Amino acid sequence: MQYFIILVEAFSGLGLFLFGMFYLENMIRDSSNYSLKKIMRNTTNTNLKSLFIGIFSTTVFQSSSIVCLLVLSLIGAELMNLQSAIAIIIGANLGTTATAWIMATVGFKTNISLISSAIIGIGGLGMILATEESKWKKYFGILVGIGLIFLGLSQMKESLSVFSQNFDVASMKLENPYWYAIVGLILTAIIQSSSASIAIIQSALFANIITFEAAGAFVLGADIGTTLTIILGAIGGIPDKKRAAAAQVIFNVSTDLIALGLLYPLVSFVNFLIPSASGVIKIAAFHSLYNLMGVFIWFPFISKFSKFLKYFFKKKITYATKYINQIPAKDTDIAIDALKKELGNLSKKIEKLALLAINIPDTTLLEKDPPPKIEILEKYTKNLDKSYINIYKKIRLQEGEIYRYISTVSIKNKNKNFQETINHLYKKTTYLATASKSIKDMLQDLNKLYRASSYEEHNIYQNLRYQILLNTLAYHQRNRQNLKNLYKDVSDSHKYILNTIEKFAQNPHIKAEMAAIIINDLYLIKTFSQSLINALIR
């Protein structure tokens, strides 16, 4: 039962940790502005600056894992490039040796759980007190993300600490010191704390239970074991995050393997430098020495190393378009046919978005003869649980790919008739893009009106649904005249709207913002209708 509880706590800690990575990355991306980007660019514009940032920040945080995870978040938010990240990660490996020195001299141990609770508390309170418009709301959100990462790591470490507490180095009795490297690797991979592993081996060395060589091998293994944290942090990330994680693994493994090969010379060198020092001081010096050696080996090759990693973890290219990505732009005649099919495909997606916006999930209704009547709105009254913004983003991406394809194709053929056709298709794409954006801009208002309780608001909501349905249906039938009539009806409805706003003003239970919502949505309906009319121009 005890081990089941340990596994549940460790799994929960992993979930907190991964969610913290995801949340932090999003908060950094949302809060990034020109000033922040400029600061990041100026502080990491050289490998040397990035190296010292890695050393300094790890000395402050007392954890190379935390620093490397923060670097992954910055990469994911596109505020840091891979080369700078690698330099910081290399610096972090040297900075983490400060922990061994602190434990060797004063026995200091950072309480990550306490720090995480304080950070989440400050960040959470700040997010509640900050206004929606304040930039500080997202900054406090960044603190919450960092705190969640700390808390997840802390929970994983604490839940698995039973392994380290019951770990008896003396019982190993391994004659060959190199076996201790494997022990250090496994233990650190389990408890997710190289600092705890080093503390164990320093205690054993202090009590003369093991030799200096065995302790050194153990520390090297622990250094490899700690790379599991950054591997977990790169799960589900963009290619550069995976490349940065790979950089740390390659750096640690290569440096540690070289150090293992030079284990006895390095031990002898430390004994020569500080012959009368205690074992715990010597292991701290050994830890610093081989990490410094790794920095000297890898630092000159950071740029080349970064370029080399670009060949790996390439993201598979996916297209939002269905037809044009299959046809080379040089085949201009076929390209025109592909573009027309693609615009037909785009039209269907915009029609679907429009129907989903008014809670109609069945797009086959548009195909029925006779066409659906107003009563169909009464059938579909339940608000759909759809990620409308994601649907719109895919439509916008498709529009962008069409624009790019049109630009590429237009260069290939300068024939006058061909250029006229291309320009016509470009304009049609623009009209469809405007129509889709009009629907997207109404989504939030439609949601507010759906949740409203007054009779007047309900009538406005139903009227908007009705207008969207009729315009979408007329466009699907390619009935331009019907669309023109609908546009005229919307344009002539100003008097009705003014009367409605007057009723709103007399009703204290209706929020004042509703008047702005009505006027705004009336304009958007007109834009939607006009765009569809223009898209039908032959």
pLDDT digits (tens, 9 = 90+) for 62-118: 567 777 777 887 787 777 888 998 998 888 888 777 666 655 555 444 556 677 788
Count CB atoms within 10 A of the CB of residue 389: 11
H or E segment to which residue 11 belongs: helix 2-31
Mean pLDDT over 523-529 rounds to 91
The pTM assigned to this predicted structure is 0.63
Quote the CA–CA distance of 280 and 395 in Å, as a whole number: 62
CA 17 to chain centre: 14
Count CB atoms within 10 A of the CB of residue 69: 26
Q: Which of 121-135, 183-197, 489-503 holds the top average pLDDT?
A: 121-135
pLDDT score for 7: 67
DSSP state of 372: P
Quote the CA–CA distance of 294 and 366 in Å, as a whole number: 66
Which residues touch 469 (CB under 8 Å, ≥6 apart)?
355, 358, 360, 372, 374, 376, 377
DSSP string, 88-155: HHHHHHHHTHHHHHHHHHT-----HHHHHHHHHHHHHHHHHHS-TT-THHHHHHHHHHHHHHHHHHHH
Quote the CA–CA distance of 89 and 93 in Å, as a whole number: 6
Q: Is 181:231 a contact under the CB 8 Å cutoff?
A: no
Q: In this predicted model, what pLDDT tens digit does every residue of 119-138 receive, in sequence order?
A: 888 888 888 888 777 777 87
DSSP string, 450-498: HH--SHHHHHHHHHHHHHHHHHHHHHHTT-HHHHHHHHHHHHTTHHHHH
pLDDT score for 162: 54
Q: Is the dihedral of CA 354, 356, 360, 365 positive or negative?
A: positive
Q: Is 263:177 a contact under the CB 8 Å cutoff?
A: yes
Q: Is the peptide bond before 370 cis (omega within 30 degrees of 0)?
A: yes
Q: Show the tokens assigned to 74.
A: 């910055």
DSSP state of 277: S
Q: 190-199, 202-211, 215-224, 318-327: which range is least confident on average?
A: 190-199
Mean pLDDT over 294-309 rounds to 91
Percent of the chain with pLDDT over 70: 80
Report how far apart, in Å, the C-alpha atoms of 4 and of each of 1, 7, 10, 162 are.
5, 5, 10, 13
Query: Would the pLDDT of 528 be above 90?
Result: yes
Residue 37 confidence class, pLDDT cut points 50, 70, 90: low
- Long-range contacts of range 457-462, CB-CB < 8 Å, 24 or more positions apart? 457/510, 457/514, 459/500, 460/500, 460/514, 460/518, 462/377
pLDDT score for 208: 73
Quote the CA–CA distance of 537 and 6 in Å, as a whole number: 67
Q: 107-116, 329-338, 349-358: which range is least confident on average?
A: 107-116
Quote the CA–CA distance of 440 and 438 in Å, as a whole number: 5
Q: In the predicted model, what is the mean pLDDT of the chain? A: 80
Mean pLDDT over 482-491 rounds to 84
pLDDT score for 131: 77
pLDDT score for 437: 95
pLDDT score for 108: 42
